[in-house]
Amino acid sequence: MPRITDVSHGLTAEVLRTIVRYDAENGKFYWLKSNNQSAVVGGEAGTIEPTSGYVRFTVLGRKYQAHRLVWLYVNGRWPEHQIDHRNMIKSDNRIENLREATYQDNAANKRVFKSNIIGLKGVSRKPDGRFIARIGREGRVLTIGVFDCPAAAHFAYMVRADEYYGEFARGS
């Protein structure tokens, strides 16, 4: 999987730490310096973008997603891949809720699609009334099996999801 393009624009953890303070308990940043616009010393940095749900704010003239800045601030380096929110709340930027993830890992930690009328991840109904369990793996959809009840199909999906995705596996 290709790495995320470097979007640092020269921003380092050292520079970031002179501009904002990160509170690990609530996952928020606070301004250490004023920029004579919206940044007030001590004020919260960032707003939730209505379209994505992620917190973003501008540092040195560039907009960044706060979860990536948390990673930089705490770990002293930019993440090599994506940052996954364990609890799937995109505005919860507590470091304990963040983990580095590949695209596939991040995709595994998603809720069941709204269009899934069964309501169980990896399960759909066949025209004959039985239930089929499928899972995505390396860009392909693999059939796990066909079952008489949705719970059995979902169980088979979860076994395979645990095998493929480990800590990123999510059943609902």
Tell me which of 116 and 149 has the higher pLDDT: 149
pLDDT above 50: residue 1:
no
Q: What is the pLDDT of residues 121-150, one digit of tens each?
A: 889 999 999 999 998 877 889 999 999 999
Q: Specify the CATH architecture of the domain 13-105.
A: Alpha-Beta Complex (3.90)
CB 30 within 8 A of CB 87: no
**Segments of the chain assigned to CATH 3.90.75.20:** 13-105
Classify residue 2 by burial, with Cβ atoms within 10 Å: 0-12, 13-18, 19+: exposed
Which among 31, 26, 11, 25 has a CA at the least distance from the CA of 73? 11
Report the sign of the C-alpha dihedral through residues 104, 75, 25, 92, in that order: negative
Q: Which segment of 15-24, 43-52, 91-100, 102-111 scores lowest on mean pLDDT?
A: 102-111
- Once rounded to an integer, what is the mean pLDDT over residues 21-43? 89
CATH number for the domain running over 111-166: 3.30.730.10
Q: What is the pLDDT of residues 155-167, one digit of tens each?
A: 998 898 888 877 7
Q: What is the pLDDT of residue 139?
A: 80
Q: What is the pLDDT of residue 149?
A: 93
pTM over 0.85: no
**Segments of the chain assigned to CATH 3.30.730.10:** 111-166
Q: What is the pLDDT of residues 8-18, one digit of tens each?
A: 668 999 999 99
Beta bridge partners of 100: 83
**Cα gap 74→28, rounded to integer Å:** 12
pLDDT above 50: residue 59:
yes
- Once rounded to an integer, what is the mean pLDDT over residues 13-28? 96
14 half-sphere exposure, CB direction, 13 A CA radius: 1
CB 25 within 8 A of CB 35: no
